[in-house]
Amino acid sequence: MQRKAVRRALPGIAMLTALVAGAAGLTGCTGGSGTGGTSDSKAGGSQATPAQPGKYRILPAPCKAGADSKRLKAMLPAAESLTPEQRDQVYAGTADASYDGDRRVGCRWSAQTPEETRLLSVGFERVVSYDRAVASDDDKAHQVYVRQLTDAKLPFPGPTASPVPTPTATAAPTTPAAPQPGGGSPTPAGSPSAPVELGSRVLEGLGTEAFVEDKLSPAGAAAAQSRTVRIVFRTSNVIVTLEYSVQPAVPGTVPPSAETQDRTRQLAQALVERLGG
Protein backbone atom coordinates (compact mmCIF):
# COMPACT_ATOMS: atom_id res chain seq x y z
CA MET A 1 0.00 0.00 0.00
CA GLN A 2 2.80 2.41 0.77
CA ARG A 3 4.55 1.65 -2.52
CA LYS A 4 1.41 2.54 -4.49
CA ALA A 5 1.09 5.86 -2.67
CA VAL A 6 4.64 6.74 -3.51
CA ARG A 7 4.17 5.87 -7.13
CA ARG A 8 1.06 8.01 -7.31
CA ALA A 9 2.92 11.01 -5.84
CA LEU A 10 5.75 10.87 -8.35
CA PRO A 11 3.90 12.61 -11.22
CA GLY A 12 3.08 15.55 -8.95
CA ILE A 13 6.69 15.84 -7.79
CA ALA A 14 7.92 15.63 -11.36
CA MET A 15 5.56 18.40 -12.41
CA LEU A 16 6.63 20.59 -9.50
CA THR A 17 10.28 19.97 -10.36
CA ALA A 18 9.65 20.91 -13.99
CA LEU A 19 7.91 24.15 -12.98
CA VAL A 20 10.76 25.12 -10.68
CA ALA A 21 13.31 24.31 -13.37
CA GLY A 22 11.35 26.36 -15.90
CA ALA A 23 11.17 29.34 -13.58
CA ALA A 24 14.88 29.04 -12.92
CA GLY A 25 15.47 28.91 -16.64
CA LEU A 26 13.47 32.11 -17.20
CA THR A 27 15.33 33.83 -14.39
CA GLY A 28 18.59 32.68 -15.85
CA CYS A 29 17.67 34.08 -19.27
CA THR A 30 16.79 37.44 -17.85
CA GLY A 31 19.89 37.69 -15.71
CA GLY A 32 21.99 36.11 -18.41
CA SER A 33 21.07 38.89 -20.83
CA GLY A 34 22.44 41.54 -18.47
CA THR A 35 25.43 39.42 -17.54
CA GLY A 36 26.08 38.64 -21.15
CA GLY A 37 25.98 42.33 -22.02
CA THR A 38 28.51 43.11 -19.32
CA SER A 39 30.67 40.24 -20.43
CA ASP A 40 30.54 41.38 -24.06
CA SER A 41 31.34 44.95 -23.01
CA LYS A 42 34.40 43.75 -21.11
CA ALA A 43 35.49 41.55 -23.99
CA GLY A 44 35.15 44.30 -26.56
CA GLY A 45 36.29 47.18 -24.36
CA SER A 46 34.28 49.77 -22.46
CA GLN A 47 32.12 52.22 -24.36
CA ALA A 48 33.48 55.74 -24.93
CA THR A 49 32.34 58.31 -22.40
CA PRO A 50 30.24 61.04 -24.09
CA ALA A 51 31.91 64.46 -24.22
CA GLN A 52 30.76 67.12 -21.80
CA PRO A 53 28.35 69.78 -23.15
CA GLY A 54 29.88 72.96 -24.53
CA LYS A 55 30.81 75.87 -22.31
CA TYR A 56 27.80 77.97 -23.30
CA ARG A 57 24.22 76.86 -22.59
CA ILE A 58 22.55 80.22 -23.38
CA LEU A 59 23.27 83.23 -25.60
CA PRO A 60 23.50 86.92 -24.58
CA ALA A 61 20.95 89.54 -25.58
CA PRO A 62 22.34 90.48 -29.03
CA CYS A 63 21.37 94.16 -29.01
CA LYS A 64 23.18 94.78 -25.72
CA ALA A 65 26.18 92.45 -25.84
CA GLY A 66 29.39 94.43 -25.99
CA ALA A 67 27.87 97.29 -27.97
CA ASP A 68 27.85 100.18 -25.50
CA SER A 69 26.53 103.55 -26.57
CA LYS A 70 29.98 105.11 -26.90
CA ARG A 71 31.19 102.38 -29.28
CA LEU A 72 27.96 102.46 -31.28
CA LYS A 73 28.12 106.22 -31.70
CA ALA A 74 31.66 105.92 -33.05
CA MET A 75 30.67 103.22 -35.52
CA LEU A 76 27.26 104.67 -36.41
CA PRO A 77 27.28 108.47 -36.31
CA ALA A 78 23.69 109.70 -36.47
CA ALA A 79 22.44 112.73 -38.36
CA GLU A 80 22.38 115.99 -36.41
CA SER A 81 18.74 116.51 -37.38
CA LEU A 82 17.54 113.55 -35.31
CA THR A 83 15.70 114.12 -32.06
CA PRO A 84 16.99 112.48 -28.85
CA GLU A 85 14.22 109.90 -29.12
CA GLN A 86 15.18 109.07 -32.70
CA ARG A 87 18.83 108.72 -31.71
CA ASP A 88 17.90 106.34 -28.91
CA GLN A 89 15.95 104.27 -31.42
CA VAL A 90 18.94 104.13 -33.77
CA TYR A 91 21.28 102.84 -31.07
CA ALA A 92 18.71 100.45 -29.56
CA GLY A 93 19.02 98.25 -32.64
CA THR A 94 16.52 95.78 -34.12
CA ALA A 95 16.65 92.16 -33.00
CA ASP A 96 16.55 89.48 -35.69
CA ALA A 97 13.57 87.14 -35.71
CA SER A 98 14.54 83.88 -33.99
CA TYR A 99 12.60 80.67 -33.41
CA ASP A 100 15.14 79.39 -30.89
CA GLY A 101 16.78 82.07 -28.77
CA ASP A 102 19.10 79.54 -27.16
CA ARG A 103 20.61 78.55 -30.51
CA ARG A 104 20.70 81.63 -32.77
CA VAL A 105 20.16 85.35 -32.13
CA GLY A 106 21.18 88.59 -33.82
CA CYS A 107 20.77 92.37 -33.92
CA ARG A 108 21.07 95.08 -36.59
CA TRP A 109 21.73 98.81 -36.56
CA SER A 110 21.70 101.45 -39.30
CA ALA A 111 22.61 105.14 -39.34
CA GLN A 112 22.46 107.63 -42.19
CA THR A 113 23.98 111.09 -42.58
CA PRO A 114 24.27 113.32 -45.66
CA GLU A 115 27.81 111.98 -46.12
CA GLU A 116 27.29 108.21 -45.76
CA THR A 117 25.20 105.26 -44.62
CA ARG A 118 26.55 102.75 -42.11
CA LEU A 119 25.18 99.31 -41.26
CA LEU A 120 26.15 96.99 -38.43
CA SER A 121 24.97 93.49 -37.56
CA VAL A 122 25.97 91.02 -34.84
CA GLY A 123 24.94 87.37 -34.78
CA PHE A 124 25.48 84.58 -32.23
CA GLU A 125 25.16 80.87 -32.96
CA ARG A 126 25.41 78.22 -30.25
CA VAL A 127 26.46 74.92 -31.81
CA VAL A 128 25.26 71.65 -30.30
CA SER A 129 26.46 68.16 -31.18
CA TYR A 130 23.61 65.66 -31.26
CA ASP A 131 26.02 62.76 -30.77
CA ARG A 132 28.67 63.71 -28.22
CA ALA A 133 30.04 60.17 -28.31
CA VAL A 134 31.33 61.06 -31.81
CA ALA A 135 32.02 64.81 -31.51
CA SER A 136 31.79 67.33 -28.68
CA ASP A 137 29.96 70.64 -28.98
CA ASP A 138 33.33 72.39 -29.36
CA ASP A 139 34.39 69.98 -32.12
CA LYS A 140 31.12 70.55 -33.96
CA ALA A 141 31.52 74.33 -33.64
CA HIS A 142 35.05 74.03 -35.04
CA GLN A 143 33.64 72.19 -38.07
CA VAL A 144 31.08 74.95 -38.66
CA TYR A 145 33.82 77.59 -38.37
CA VAL A 146 36.07 75.77 -40.87
CA ARG A 147 33.22 75.67 -43.40
CA GLN A 148 32.82 79.44 -43.11
CA LEU A 149 36.58 79.90 -43.40
CA THR A 150 36.54 77.79 -46.58
CA ASP A 151 33.58 79.72 -48.01
CA ALA A 152 35.61 82.92 -47.51
CA LYS A 153 38.39 81.27 -49.59
CA LEU A 154 40.92 81.65 -46.80
CA PRO A 155 43.47 78.94 -46.02
CA PHE A 156 43.11 77.03 -42.78
CA PRO A 157 46.14 77.77 -40.58
CA GLY A 158 47.80 74.44 -39.88
CA PRO A 159 50.74 73.72 -37.56
CA THR A 160 53.23 74.53 -40.32
CA ALA A 161 51.37 77.42 -41.87
CA SER A 162 53.50 80.48 -42.36
CA PRO A 163 52.22 83.82 -41.04
CA VAL A 164 50.10 85.80 -43.44
CA PRO A 165 51.98 88.99 -44.31
CA THR A 166 50.12 92.23 -43.95
CA PRO A 167 49.72 93.83 -47.38
CA THR A 168 51.50 97.13 -47.71
CA ALA A 169 50.70 99.94 -50.05
CA THR A 170 53.02 100.71 -52.92
CA ALA A 171 53.88 104.35 -53.16
CA ALA A 172 53.34 106.03 -56.49
CA PRO A 173 56.45 107.09 -58.41
CA THR A 174 57.66 110.50 -57.37
CA THR A 175 59.76 113.11 -59.06
CA PRO A 176 62.79 114.61 -57.34
CA ALA A 177 62.00 117.45 -54.97
CA ALA A 178 62.92 120.89 -56.07
CA PRO A 179 65.56 122.64 -53.93
CA GLN A 180 64.32 125.61 -51.96
CA PRO A 181 65.96 129.05 -52.15
CA GLY A 182 68.30 129.85 -49.29
CA GLY A 183 69.22 126.22 -48.63
CA GLY A 184 65.91 125.29 -46.99
CA SER A 185 64.56 121.74 -46.93
CA PRO A 186 63.23 120.52 -50.25
CA THR A 187 59.47 120.27 -50.72
CA PRO A 188 58.31 116.70 -51.41
CA ALA A 189 56.91 116.32 -54.90
CA GLY A 190 54.65 113.77 -56.48
CA SER A 191 51.39 112.15 -55.32
CA PRO A 192 51.04 110.70 -51.79
CA SER A 193 51.06 106.95 -51.20
CA ALA A 194 47.83 105.00 -51.73
CA PRO A 195 45.74 103.97 -48.69
CA VAL A 196 46.73 100.67 -47.12
CA GLU A 197 44.45 97.72 -47.96
CA LEU A 198 44.63 95.16 -45.17
CA GLY A 199 42.57 92.56 -47.03
CA SER A 200 40.98 89.32 -45.81
CA ARG A 201 43.03 87.07 -43.54
CA VAL A 202 43.11 84.83 -40.48
CA LEU A 203 43.24 86.77 -37.21
CA GLU A 204 45.31 85.92 -34.16
CA GLY A 205 44.39 86.59 -30.53
CA LEU A 206 40.63 86.81 -31.03
CA GLY A 207 38.67 84.07 -29.32
CA THR A 208 39.64 80.48 -30.08
CA GLU A 209 39.99 81.13 -33.83
CA ALA A 210 38.93 83.98 -36.09
CA PHE A 211 39.16 85.52 -39.54
CA VAL A 212 38.28 88.81 -41.21
CA GLU A 213 36.80 89.27 -44.68
CA ASP A 214 37.20 92.71 -46.30
CA LYS A 215 35.23 93.45 -49.47
CA LEU A 216 35.15 96.66 -51.51
CA SER A 217 32.38 97.04 -54.06
CA PRO A 218 33.38 97.81 -57.68
CA ALA A 219 33.87 101.44 -58.59
CA GLY A 220 31.15 103.08 -60.65
CA ALA A 221 30.59 106.38 -62.36
CA ALA A 222 27.41 107.15 -60.43
CA ALA A 223 27.77 105.05 -57.27
CA ALA A 224 30.36 105.30 -54.53
CA GLN A 225 32.31 102.25 -53.42
CA SER A 226 31.05 100.63 -50.23
CA ARG A 227 33.26 98.61 -47.91
CA THR A 228 32.00 95.65 -45.87
CA VAL A 229 34.14 94.09 -43.16
CA ARG A 230 33.02 90.76 -41.72
CA ILE A 231 34.69 89.16 -38.71
CA VAL A 232 33.85 85.60 -37.68
CA PHE A 233 35.27 84.19 -34.48
CA ARG A 234 34.66 81.12 -32.34
CA THR A 235 34.92 80.77 -28.60
CA SER A 236 34.17 77.26 -27.38
CA ASN A 237 30.81 76.22 -28.89
CA VAL A 238 29.61 79.72 -29.86
CA ILE A 239 30.32 81.34 -33.24
CA VAL A 240 29.96 85.12 -33.51
CA THR A 241 29.63 87.00 -36.80
CA LEU A 242 30.02 90.78 -37.10
CA GLU A 243 29.39 92.70 -40.31
CA TYR A 244 30.12 96.42 -40.67
CA SER A 245 29.40 98.33 -43.90
CA VAL A 246 30.22 101.91 -44.85
CA GLN A 247 28.55 103.39 -47.97
CA PRO A 248 29.68 106.95 -48.86
CA ALA A 249 27.17 109.19 -50.58
CA VAL A 250 29.68 110.85 -52.91
CA PRO A 251 31.26 108.80 -55.73
CA GLY A 252 35.03 108.62 -55.58
CA THR A 253 35.14 108.39 -51.80
CA VAL A 254 36.57 105.07 -50.60
CA PRO A 255 36.08 104.01 -46.96
CA PRO A 256 39.51 103.27 -45.46
CA SER A 257 40.31 99.61 -44.87
CA ALA A 258 42.39 100.10 -41.71
CA GLU A 259 39.82 102.24 -39.90
CA THR A 260 36.85 100.04 -40.85
CA GLN A 261 38.64 96.85 -39.80
CA ASP A 262 39.93 98.40 -36.59
CA ARG A 263 36.46 99.45 -35.42
CA THR A 264 35.03 96.02 -36.24
CA ARG A 265 37.94 94.32 -34.47
CA GLN A 266 37.43 96.42 -31.32
CA LEU A 267 33.77 95.43 -31.18
CA ALA A 268 34.69 91.76 -31.72
CA GLN A 269 37.18 91.95 -28.84
CA ALA A 270 34.51 93.46 -26.60
CA LEU A 271 32.21 90.55 -27.47
CA VAL A 272 34.96 88.05 -26.61
CA GLU A 273 35.29 89.68 -23.21
CA ARG A 274 31.51 89.74 -22.82
CA LEU A 275 31.38 85.99 -23.45
CA GLY A 276 34.27 85.41 -21.10
CA GLY A 277 36.27 83.63 -23.80
Span 230-257, pLDDT tens digits: 999 999 999 999 999 999 998 888 999 9
Cα separation, 217 vs 225, in Å, equals 5
pTM summary value: 0.71
Do 136 and 145 touch, CB atoms closer than 8 A?
Answer: no
**Burial group, residue 234, by CB count within 10 angstroms (0-12, 13-18, 19+):** buried
Q: Domain segments of the chain: what residues?
A: 69-158+197-275
For the domain made up of 69-158+197-275, give the CATH fold: Protein Transport Mog1p; Chain A (3.40.1000)
Spatial neighbors of 135 by CB under 8 A, at least 6 apart, are 51, 129, 143
pLDDT at position 51 is: 83
Closest-CA residue to 231 (of 276, 263, 196): 263
Rounded average pLDDT over 1-12: 46
pLDDT at position 133 is: 87
| pLDDT tens by residue, 163-180 | 444 443 333 444 444 444
Residue 170: count of CB within 10 angstroms of its CB: 8
Instruction: From residue 110, give the alpha-carbon distance in Å to each of 67, 113, 120, 251, 276.
Output: 14, 10, 6, 20, 27
